[in-house]
């Protein structure tokens, strides 16, 4: 099987940009080939696509472009994991069975690691990603089992997830099965770990600056390090909290210069490497091959992409976006602002931790969000 996807012909209709100024030109997202054949898109304008594969017309990718959210499910990403997660899920059969299925697919006892640790093992990329995926979907089952839970689930009309959480959101929206999603997440974690092992890199959160200032900090750091050590904003999380990824030396320079840019603090992140940058490029071809072999359907509700903060309906487009998601900055701040701006009334964070709730509250203190753990 080829490790790269065959791209269908594409027609584009470009509409005027609706992006905030924090969407920098350096994050342009257009269909452009990288050295391994992965293709990404442009943040600079809304792109609506109709794709044709041979003589067969695919799903209109703009199907959800005018979505009007009222109730959202938000799923956490790597970093939300904590020893003890999954324990509550064992009290609900439909949730407990997900861990049993996971054990068969993964080939190890995921539940035991979730509940008992050790923490360093749970924190590893290859364990934490499937652990969070399974626990988050188990949280959906816990909600379903409580009074009024099914009514809440039925009311959800948009979903999204932070980085890894995008896979959880797609599974909830029916784009692929629980099992296929877990296989993809397993491979994603392994591929990202291998990419991190291939070149020393790191991530650091910069606290207390707006995105323009963080970009200036990155630019200043990049003037002092070679190309292989350069840094970029990898996660646009919320006002005052942006994660920077890159080479070890570049990250160290960011940390050293942060105070002079009036940052409140920096926090080195406990991750394997520079996620959502070109350092993850070696992972893309493996993801492309796995996605090409996976049946992906049009989601039943909009799923907002981390890459361009837009919902996509065409399965082939979703595959391409997921492949380049690991090398593209996460546009979570824009996603949350867009949802709230479109009239979102209530959100639910499903899975371990309360990271998402904290981010949403940083965007809008008055936002209503409830955590459903497992």
CB atoms within 10 A of CB 44: 17
Of the candidates 163, 245, 285, 347, the residue annotated as catalytic is 163
Asked if 34 is an active-site residue, the reply is no
Using CA atoms, how far apart are residues 77 and 352, in angstroms rounded to an integer?
Answer: 9
Using CA atoms, how far apart are residues 246 and 253, in angstroms rounded to an integer?
Answer: 11
Of the candidates 42, 43, 276, 347, the residue annotated as catalytic is 276
Asked if 163 is an active-site residue, the reply is yes
Which are the contacts of 243, defined by CB distance < 8 A and separation ≥ 6?
203, 204, 205, 206, 233, 234, 235, 237, 269
Q: In degrees rounded to 5, what are phi and psi of residue 296?
A: -120, 130
β pairing state of 71-75 and 346-350: parallel
Start-to-end CA span in the chain (Å): 38
Establish whether the linkage from the previous residue to 118 is cis, with ω within 30° of 0: yes
Looking at residue 228, what DSSP letter applies?
G
Task: Tell me which residues are annotated as active site.
Answer: 163, 276
């Amino acid at each position: 099987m080829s490790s790269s996807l065959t791209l269908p012909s594409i027609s584009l209709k470009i509409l005027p940009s609706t992006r905030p100024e924090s969407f920098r030109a350096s994050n342009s997202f257009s269909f452009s080939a990288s050295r391994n054949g992965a293709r990404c898109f442009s943040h600079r304008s809304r792109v609506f696509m109709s794709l044709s594969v041979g003589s067969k017309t695919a799903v209109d990718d703009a199907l959800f472009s005018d979505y009007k959210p009222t109730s959202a499910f938000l799923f956490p990403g790597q970093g939300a994991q904590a020893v003890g997660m999954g324990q509550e899920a064992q009290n609900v059969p439909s949730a407990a069975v997900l861990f049993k299925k996971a054990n068969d697919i993964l080939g190890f006892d995921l539940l035991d690691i979730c509940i008992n640790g050790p923490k360093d093992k749970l924190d590893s990329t290859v364990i934490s990603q499937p652990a969070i995926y399974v626990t988050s979907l188990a949280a959906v089952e816990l909600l379903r089992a409580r009074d009024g839970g099914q009514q809440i689930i039925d009311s959800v009309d948009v979903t999204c997830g932070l980085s890894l959480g995008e896979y959880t959101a797609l599974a909830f929206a029916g784009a692929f099965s629980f099992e296929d999603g877990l296989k993809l997440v397993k491979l994603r974690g392994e591929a990202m770990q291998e990419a991190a092992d291939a070149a020393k890199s790191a991530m650091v959160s910069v606290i207390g600056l707006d995105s323009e200032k963080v970009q200036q900090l990155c630019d200043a750091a990049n003037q002092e390090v070679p190309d292989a050590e350069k840094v970029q904003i990898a996660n646009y999380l919320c006002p005052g909290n942006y994660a920077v990824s890159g080479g070890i030396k570049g990250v160290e320079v960011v940390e050293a210069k942060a105070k002079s840019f009036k940052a409140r603090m920096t926090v080195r992140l406990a991750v394997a490497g520079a996620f959502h940058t070109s350092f993850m490029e070696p992972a893309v071809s493996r993801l492309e091959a796995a996605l090409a072999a996976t049946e992906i359907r049009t989601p039943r509700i909009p799923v907002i992409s981390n890459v361009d903060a837009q919902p996509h309906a065409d399965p082939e487009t979703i595959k391409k976006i997921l492949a380049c998601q690991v090398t593209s900055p996460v546009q979570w701040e824009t996603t949350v602002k867009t949802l709230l701006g479109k009239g979102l009334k209530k959100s639910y964070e499903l899975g371990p931790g309360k990271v998402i709730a904290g981010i949403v509250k940083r965007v809008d203190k008055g936002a209503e969000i409830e955590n459903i753990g497992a």
